[in-house]
Amino acid sequence: MSNRDIAHHFFGSNYAEWKTSDNLIEVIDWFRKQKGTKAPYSVFYVPLNKDAKYDIQWYAPQVTGAICLGTFVKDKVWVPEEEKSAWT
């Protein structure tokens, strides 16, 4: 069983926007491309299918097992090419 076989998704949020995807790089790239805000954003690993319903409090998913992967400044995120394949 690989990570791709386990129900999960990534949830990114800041004070004004949010994005979910089963692809971490897609979430990071979406925030980097947003116009009009340079607000920091947080990205979480959520151990549920991306269509699952759950509560959000203070911009964070309220799910047992959710993990904050970090809080990032819009133009300061870098993921090495060799690491991208692990999350896509």
**Segment 46-71, tens digit of pLDDT:** 999 989 999 999 999 999 999 999 98
Segment 10-41, tens digit of pLDDT:
999 998 899 999 999 999 999 988 877 778 89
- The reported pLDDT for the residue numbered 26 is 96
Measured between alpha carbons, how far is 14 from 22 in angstroms, rounded to an integer? Answer: 18
What's the rounded Cα separation, in Å, for the pair 79 and 22?
Answer: 16
CB 3 within 8 A of CB 67: no
- The structural domains of the chain, with segments of one domain joined by +, span 3-87
Q: Which two tokens stand for residue 47?
A: 């151990």
What pTM, to 2 d.p., does this model score? 0.79
